[in-house]
Structure 1
């Protein structure tokens, strides 16, 4: 169950639930739930990935997987699991699974890589004029992304 402990009503419900489980001597798992990435982060990420694709000639999917996930942020995205046959496989998790903090780190790493390695400046989220400019360029080149 999920409880928002900022809400006094839910605090009481949480205490009741936990006390019930305690009386049952149940095995429980408690973990803090972190917020997923924000919608503004998602929109910004899509914009800078598209701009990188425009500037390099790669597709948006190639940029997202090969550069954003594998090259810049492998530690955040690469996961291992055991498949149905018992073999360990490696996969890349979805960016929608990242917290806002993880997404901030991932974006910053990608911006740094883009500038240092590819020579492509990616604007910060507050550079409104540049962001508008790249939106226009992306729309003009949409068929190539």
Structure 2
């Protein structure tokens, strides 16, 4: 069971549970559960990437890989691994699903700044719902939905 220790009732339940397991001399594992990014954060990211792609004249996937990951947020997405057969150190690009909420917020903010600086494309903030709805409507006009 996952306990949210910021809630006093859940905190007490967690302590009681651990005490019970200690009394039983059970093997236990205690892990901190980090927050994943929110569903709305993921939707927001794809909406602004789609808008940028439309304005730039490229596909959403190309913008996401080349601009968002490689150019703007390379340090957040590039990792290395060792090929177990050859021993060669290779690059691996993280998926956005591997980022936590804070990392995703940083990546989005950098991309918004990059967009304005390089192409003078304003990408609205997540709370600017009216502007985001306008963008969503414009993107949906493209029947093949390469920007969504």
What SS does the aligned partner of 2:68 have?
helix
* Counterparts of residues 108-127 of structure 1 (less than 5 Å): 108-127=109-128
Shift in alpha-carbon separation, 1:14–1:58, aligned structure 2, 3 A: farther
Pairwise CA distance, 1:97: 1.1
Match of 2:32 in 1: 32
* Counterparts of residues 57-96 of structure 1 (less than 5 Å): 57-85=57-85, 86-96=87-97
**In structure 2, C-alpha distance between the alignment counterparts of 1:94 and 1:53, rounded to whole Å:** 19
Match of 1:133 in 2: 134
What SS does the aligned partner of 1:34 have?
coil
**CA deviation string 1:103-131 (max 9, x = no partner):** 11110000000001121110111111211
Which range moved further: 104-113 or 4-13? 4-13
**In structure 2, C-alpha distance between the alignment counterparts of 1:142 and 1:93, rounded to whole Å:** 30
Pairwise CA distance, 1:16: 5.4
**CA deviation string 1:73-128 (max 9, x = no partner):** 11111111112222111111111111111111110000000001121110111111
Q: Which runs of 5+ in 2 are unaligned?
A: none
Q: CA RMSD for the aligned pairs?
A: 2.3
Q: 2:14 aligns with which of 10, 13, 24?
A: 10
Shift in alpha-carbon separation, 1:18–1:47, aligned structure 2, 3 A: farther
Q: Is the Cα contact below 8 Å between 1:77 and 1:93 reproduced in 2?
A: yes
Shift in alpha-carbon separation, 1:35–1:141, aligned structure 2, 3 A: same
Aligned positions, number? 139
